[in-house]
Amino acid sequence: MARVLMIEDDRRLSEMVREYLEPFGIRVVARTHAAEGVKLLKQESFDALILDVMLPDQDGFEVCRKVRSESELPILMLTARGEETDRIVGLELGADDYLPKPFNPRELLARLRAVLRRQGSSKANPLRFGRLEIDRQARIVRVDGEERSLTGYQFDLLCALAASAGRVMSREALLDRLRGKDLEAFDRSIDVHISRIRAAIEDDPRHPRRVITIRGTGYLFARNQDEE
């Protein structure tokens, strides 16, 4: 059963959505405030986010921006605003789809299924960066077609970095992306994990060109390291 977080201040609407979607194999967990929802996203794993724009404690667009900067989680935005500019802003911030209120629950189900299908398809496709291939489904890393050995921690860390290629990731953001792991142990040894990843995928681990340390900030996965 897919798990979906819904951040919506209208409790009756959330309950209606929960009751409608559950028979279709979609479990809805509802929160009324942005802060509560964002906190829960860091603690538990979800397959998608249904996000209202008009929240009592924070603008939904800002929540969308924050979630998208740290995660590939599919986001479907709901709002009473029907203006085209709001829809465009939401999509530009990284939302996968946008549904104005009032809406037909059948349309919500159809759109939600579509973003879940796209997410499943993207995970099935390997990530490729020049000579480097990351097969997330098989959990295998290859360089020039040759398989390289990584632990489960290191593979998940590499995927988190690669999914945000070209952007600096702080330690805190990486821990958020890897929630559900033994995060305390991971935090104490993150530099060791990074060095092992470099040993596996870099031509010269002492002078890395793929996984780069940004002093005082975090790490950057270079998207174009192998390109001419």
Ordered structural domains, the chain, with CATH: 2-124 (3.40.50.2300), 127-221 (1.10.10.10)
Q: What is the mean pLDDT of residues 198-219?
A: 93
Provide the pLDDT confidence category of residue 124 given band limits of 50, 70 and 90. low
Give the mean pLDDT of the chain.
85
Q: Under a CB-based contact definition with an 8 Å cutoff, are residues 148 and 142 in contact? A: yes
- pLDDT attached to residue 185: 46
Q: What is the pLDDT of residues 4-62, one digit of tens each?
A: 999 999 999 999 999 999 999 999 999 999 999 999 988 887 889 999 999 999 999 99
Q: What is the pLDDT of residues 126-149, one digit of tens each?
A: 888 999 999 887 889 999 999 999
Residue 1 burial (CB count, 10 A): 9
- Does residue 181 carry a pLDDT above 50? no
Q: Could you tell me which of 78, 72, 46, 44 has the C-alpha nearest to residue 60?
A: 78
Tokens read off for 48: 């998608």
- pLDDT attached to residue 112: 93
How many CA atoms lie within 13 Å of 139's alpha carbon, on the beta-carbon side? 8
pTM: 0.58
Residue scoring higher pLDDT (3 or 185): 3
- pLDDT attached to residue 83: 64
Q: Which amino acid is at 190?
A: I
Decide the pairing of beta strands 75-79 and 48-52. parallel
Task: Judge if the upstream peptide bond of residue 102 is cis by omega within 30 degrees of 0.
Answer: yes
- pLDDT attached to residue 177: 67
Q: What is the pLDDT of residues 147-177, one digit of tens each?
A: 999 887 788 889 889 988 888 888 777 776 6
- pLDDT attached to residue 227: 42
- pLDDT attached to residue 182: 46
Q: Could you tell me which of 81, 222, 75 has the C-alpha nearest to residue 158?
A: 222
Q: How far is CA 113 from CA 45, 87, 99, 107, 119, in A?
A: 18, 19, 14, 10, 10
- pLDDT attached to residue 184: 45
- pLDDT attached to residue 33: 97
Q: Under a CB-based contact definition with an 8 Å cutoff, are residues 108 and 82 in contact? A: no
Taking 3-state DSSP, the helix, strand and coil percentages for the chain, each rounded to the nearest 5, stand at: 45, 25, 35
